[in-house]
Structure 1
Amino acid sequence: MPSGTQEATAFEFKSASVQLVSFVPATLDVAQIDAELREKLGDGEHMLSGSHVAIDFAALPETPDVATLQRLIDQLARFGLNLVAAQGGNDAQLAEAAEAGLIVIDEDAVTQLPTPKPVAAERVPAMIVTKPIRAGQQVYARGGDLVVLALVSNGAEVIADGSIHVYAPLRGRALAGARGDTGARVYTTCLEAELVSIAGVYRTLDEALPANIKSGAAQVRLDENKLVIEALSGLV
């Protein structure tokens, strides 16, 4: 090699941050977990698709063996979730997790790390739905807003990386800002939703709403990590 020249390296290491979604099971009953995953996430693509997941043992009394953890890894993978790490719990639980190939997170070290800022998804034209969305159906507008011109029934789910506009009764679940957009909002001409969410901050609406909001035109927005639900006067 000539003097003063440097051979190109084959690779290099760079620091990177990965945001993990915590999965906190209270049981490892396969059938129960599967049923609730299906209820919460549906059978198709959802707002957590492709997310990296850390199992948190904080609420789990038993210590799962490697085979049980591997079944859980496979089960979550069927719903588009990548179980890669473990945290919380006791030493025995974390030891089994390590044996199963999961990364054991040092929670003391993690608390010192800054929370990664959400990366804004590339915006695309709004998805417009003109037909009613029935119970059990899920509609996801990836990268943009969702506009629904018909009923969203109880048990249905509408999701958008941007804002959600429902110009009809909204009776199912509405999750806006699914990829972390805290400026996203939910608008509807008739708010009767089961659940609303902005950027992962959610609220169930089974409790009584004020008379000027319930079944009326309303919007849902995020204000310093708190959901605000307010009437929209003059919206037809």
Structure 2
Amino acid sequence: MAETAGALASAPFELRSASLTLEAVSLRTRDLGVLKRALQAQLGAAPGAFDGEPVLVDLGVAAEDAPALDIAALVALLRAHRMQPVAVRGGTPADRAAARALGLVEAPESSGVREPRTVVQEVLREVRVEVPVEVPVEVPTMVIDRPLRSGQQVYAKGGDLIVLAAVNFGAEVIADGHVHVYAPLRGKAIAGARGNTQARIFSTCLEPELVAIAGTYRTTETPLPAEVLGRPAQIRLEGDRLVFQPV
């Protein structure tokens, strides 16, 4: 018995239960060309937004006769934006088979996809009960007080960005939270870069090349409403539509 206990104590590994919470990339199109352009618009200006984090690819509900999806090309496209696909959900049987062939796990519908809130667990050892407790999250804020020229980029990872000088043509301001520009905004502004749909963009003089919130974007190809162009305004997301409001 003593020998068996000693062998167990020196075992080179042990198995334990574990859980992993993932970001989910939910596709709304099977057209990889459209997806590539959308990813470039939202994440191309923020190459470190995901920084190799694992993601679950949600292909949604697809009919048996849905157009074929090149899973290998999809995985390569996501990896090009520093995401690391590890699991797939939904799609057609052919989609899931192709994903398994690439080493991706087929996730159940109740998989641990990250919710847009922060929860901590308080463990009461006396009764062995885990109580989820919602706590306020302190969001870091980055402040820039110099003008940004063409080719310059500022990214506020995990928080808000406040710019106190002009964002000129060709410059980019990006934040996982809100973007505030208390000066002319003439370059690109991306808020909610990692999917925060509650993020907003504010400027005292709105003249942007591109604005985007949580992946929904608008460029100069579509003129801004006259009541906000060159004026103080805010931009928010309402469903899949950007709403421009004077302030």
* Between 205-214 and 75-84, the greater mean CA deviation after superposition: 205-214
**2:78 is matched with which residue?**
76
For each residue in 1:128-151, what CA deviation from the matched residue of structure 2 results, as whole angstroms up to 9, or x when unmatched? Answer: 1513242x5532112333223123
In structure 1, C-alpha distance between the alignment counterparts of 2:227 and 2:37, rounded to whole Å: 36
Asked whether the equivalents of residues 195 and 202 of structure 1 are also in contact (C-alpha less than 8 Å), the reply is no
Aligned 1:134-213 pairs, distance under 5 A: 134=150, 137-148=152-163, 149-153=165-169, 156-179=171-194, 181=196, 184-198=199-213, 200=214, 202-204=216-218, 206-213=221-228
The sequence identity of aligned pairs, in percent, is: 37
**What is the one-letter code of the residue matched to 1:116?**
E
Q: Alpha-carbon deviation of 1:33?
A: 7.8
**1:61 is matched with which residue?**
67
| TM norm structure 2 | 0.64
For each residue in 1:169-223, what CA deviation from the matched residue of structure 2 results, as whole angstroms up to 9, or x when unmatched? Answer: 323332223345555432112112344344x163425444433211111112356
**2:139 is matched with which residue?**
123
Q: Tell me, what secondary structure is at the counterpart of 1:116?
A: coil
**What is the one-letter code of the residue matched to 1:98?**
R
Q: Alpha-carbon deviation of 1:162?
A: 2.9
In structure 2, C-alpha distance between the alignment counterparts of 1:38 and 1:211, rounded to whole Å: 28
Aligned 1:28-107 pairs, distance under 5 A: 38=40, 40-42=42-44, 45-49=47-51, 50=53, 52-54=55-57, 56=59, 61-62=67-68, 64=70, 69=72, 73-106=75-108
In structure 2, C-alpha distance between the alignment counterparts of 1:33 and 1:227, rounded to whole Å: 19
**1:4 is matched with which residue?**
none
Asked whether the equivalents of residues 190 and 216 of structure 1 are also in contact (C-alpha less than 8 Å), the reply is yes
More strand by share: 2
Cα RMSD, aligned residues only: 4.2
**2:230 is matched with which residue?**
215
In structure 2, C-alpha distance between the alignment counterparts of 1:194 and 1:151, rounded to whole Å: 10
**What is the one-letter code of the residue matched to 2:101?**
E
| TM norm structure 1 | 0.66
In structure 2, C-alpha distance between the alignment counterparts of 1:225 and 1:92, rounded to whole Å: 29
Q: Tell me, what secondary structure is at the counterpart of 1:94?
A: helix
Asked whether the equivalents of residues 42 and 193 of structure 2 are also in contact (C-alpha less than 8 Å), the reply is no
For each residue in 1:76-99, what CA deviation from the matched residue of structure 2 results, as whole angstroms up to 9, or x when unmatched? Answer: 324211112234443223212111
Asked whether the equivalents of residues 177 and 184 of structure 1 are also in contact (C-alpha less than 8 Å), the reply is yes
Asked whether the equivalents of residues 152 and 168 of structure 1 are also in contact (C-alpha less than 8 Å), the reply is no
In structure 1, C-alpha distance between the alignment counterparts of 2:18 and 2:183, rounded to whole Å: 49
Corresponding residue pairs, total: 215
Q: Tell me, what secondary structure is at the counterpart of 1:126?
A: strand
Distance 1:227 1:34, change over 3 A: closer
Asked whether the equivalents of residues 222 and 228 of structure 1 are also in contact (C-alpha less than 8 Å), the reply is yes
Q: Tell me, what secondary structure is at the counterpart of 2:226?
A: coil
